């Protein structure tokens, strides 16, 4: 039902009809659609996503290999976006109408509206091709590749646990540019939402009462107003993190990052539908689990939800 033929993706341009029919039957494409669907669902419930036509490996093993790289990139990006975006939004709300507020809004608008693949291309042209400050792509220098085989698959953490500090520095050097770009996109979203949430709280009557009692501005902002926006911030941080898993598809392609995004892009080009479906299902499952985890954290952060 897709424009590309998965049988031709396996056989290539040179094939005979007998070989085509044989592979067509092996893939189960000769069965009715509802039979194919329920067969696929049954296999997925057993964590069997089929075999990749490109790598010739089981899709589940490919996903286990590439996903830690995307997870590592997304975790660092959401950390950067949260640490920078939330304070920027809060300060913009407190200093509403000043140059600080205008600067924060411009930074947020640019980060929210500029295509991330264009930013990535510009960063490579300027800082790699022009200045030589960042590596051209990949996850680590070639001479350090394979030195660390850790349990998590996240190279920075595994290198630190193994005490391989040269590999650790190389991994940091490679991840900084894509993580900063993804983090900037997250920061733009989080700063805008933080500003909106804080402005809403600053207009509440309890803030006026706190000021009338003579409370200091930092106590009003951080002890009272910020406590009331924590649950809302947790929601938008969760959404931003899930969005980074999608945004990583573009940034990984630009920077040659060997993660889920690059794997999914290659699968799309080669009509590797098992790999495409497995990748999308994994992203959906991770998004559901993250939202479920945020609901659990709500109960710890906000006693009213208990």
- Predicted confidence (pLDDT) at residue 33 exceeds the cutoff of 80: yes
For the segment 127-136, what is each residue's pLDDT rounded down to a tens digit?
Answer: 888 787 777 7
Which pLDDT score, from 0 to 100, does residue 299 have? 79
For the segment 21-31, what is each residue's pLDDT rounded down to a tens digit?
Answer: 888 888 888 88
% of the chain at pLDDT higher than 70: 97
> For residue 161, which of 169, 172, 150 has the smallest C-alpha distance?
150
Contact 174, 259 (CB under 8 A): no
Higher pLDDT, 194 or 144: 194
Give residue 143's pLDDT band: very low, low, confident or very high (50, 70, 90). Answer: low
User: What mean pLDDT comes out for the span 94-104?
Assistant: 85
Q: Report how far residue 131's alpha carbon sits from residue 140's, in angstroms, rounded to the nearest whole number.
A: 19
For residue 36, being part of any structural domain is answered with: no
Structural domain of 143: 61-305
Give pTM, 2 decimals. 0.82
Domain count, the chain: 1
For residue 9, being part of any structural domain is answered with: no
Q: How far is CA 86 from CA 7, 107, 216, 277, in A?
A: 50, 13, 21, 35
> For residue 201, which of 93, 83, 299 has the smallest C-alpha distance?
93
Q: What is the CATH number of the domain that holds 289?
A: 1.10.3720.10
For residue 45, being part of any structural domain is answered with: no
Q: How far is CA 263 from the centre of its chain?
A: 14
Which pLDDT score, from 0 to 100, does residue 228 have? 82
For residue 99, being part of any structural domain is answered with: yes
For the segment 222-263, what is each residue's pLDDT rounded down to a tens digit?
Answer: 888 888 888 888 888 888 888 887 767 788 888 888 888 888
Q: How far is CA 218 from CA 96, 185, 226, 286, 302, in A?
A: 16, 28, 10, 37, 21
For residue 196, being part of any structural domain is answered with: yes
């Amino acid at each position: 039902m897709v424009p590309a033929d998965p049988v031709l993706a396996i056989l290539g341009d040179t094939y005979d009809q007998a070989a085509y029919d044989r592979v067509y039957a092996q893939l189960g494409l000769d069965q009715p659609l509802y039979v194919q669907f329920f067969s696929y669902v049954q296999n997925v419930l057993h964590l069997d996503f089929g075999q990749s036509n490109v790598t010739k490996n089981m899709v589940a093993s490919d996903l286990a290999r590439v996903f830690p790289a995307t997870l590592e990139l997304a975790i660092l990006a959401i950390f950067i976006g949260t640490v920078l975006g939330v304070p920027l939004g809060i300060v913009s709300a407190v200093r509403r109408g000043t140059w600080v507020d205008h600067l924060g809004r411009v930074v947020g608008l640019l980060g929210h509206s500029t295509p991330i693949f264009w930013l990535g291309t510009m960063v490579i042209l300027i800082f790699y091709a022009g200045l030589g400050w960042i590596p051209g792509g990949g996850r680590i220098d070639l001479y350090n590749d394979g030195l660390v085989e850790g349990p998590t698959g996240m190279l920075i953490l595994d290198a630190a646990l193994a005490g391989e500090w040269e590999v650790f520095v190389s991994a940091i050097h490679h991840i900084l540019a894509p993580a900063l770009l993804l983090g900037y996109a997250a920061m733009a979203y989080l700063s805008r939402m933080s500003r909106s949430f804080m402005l809403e709280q600053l207009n509440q009557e309890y803030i006026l009462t706190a000021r009338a009692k003579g409370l200091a501005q930092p106590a009003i902002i951080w002890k009272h107003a910020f406590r009331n926006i924590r649950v809302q911030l947790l929601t938008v941080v969760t959404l931003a993190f899930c969005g980074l898993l999608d945004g990583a598809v573009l940034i990984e392609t630009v920077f040659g990052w060997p993660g889920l995004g690059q794997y999914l892009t290659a699968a799309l080009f080669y009509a590797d539908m098992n790999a495409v479906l497995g990748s999308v299902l994994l992203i959906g499952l991770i998004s559901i689990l993250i939202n479920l985890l945020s609901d659990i954290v709500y109960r710890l952060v906000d006693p009213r939800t208990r």
